[in-house]
Amino acid sequence: MQHGAQKKRPGEDMPALWIIGTGGHARVLLDLARDCGHPVQGFIDPAPNGASARASASEPVAPFGTDLAVLDGLGALRELHAPKVVIAIGGNALRRETTAEATALGAKAVT
């Protein structure tokens, strides 16, 4: 370390993530991201009109007992200015479609 340089904390230079999805996969990715030191901004519900796990479950507005934001619809990605995202959708075809739509809206998928 250079003289006078501050030591970085774990996750300090990791991108803040948005998790696309609000179901069980989102819960797992939230835990994984946090365990790896990634800050998580919140969730994006890709199907806010009733087709999502959040809409059919008795989850609070912010899922899993967190105080994280939940944005409705992938259109919210336009306002986030190229956010880093992880896709938390279990079905292969739907995950592929969601990834394509999210990247078309400017999101950067993190793997």
pLDDT at residue 109 is higher than 60: yes
| pTM score above 0.85 | no
Average pLDDT estimate for 5-10: 50
DSSP H or E run through 56: helix 53-56
Q: Does the pLDDT of residue 20 top 90, yes or no? A: yes
pLDDT tens-digit readout, 55-104: 444 443 456 778 898 999 999 999 998 899 999 999 999 999 999 999 99
DSSP states along 86-110:
EE---SHHHHHHHHHHHHHTT-EE-
Average pLDDT over residues 15-38: 92
Lowest mean pLDDT among 2-6, 25-29, 51-55: 51-55
Question: Which of 2-11, 19-28, 31-40, 63-72 is least confident?
Answer: 2-11
DSSP element (H, E) containing 70: strand 69-72
Q: What is the pLDDT of residue 50?
A: 55
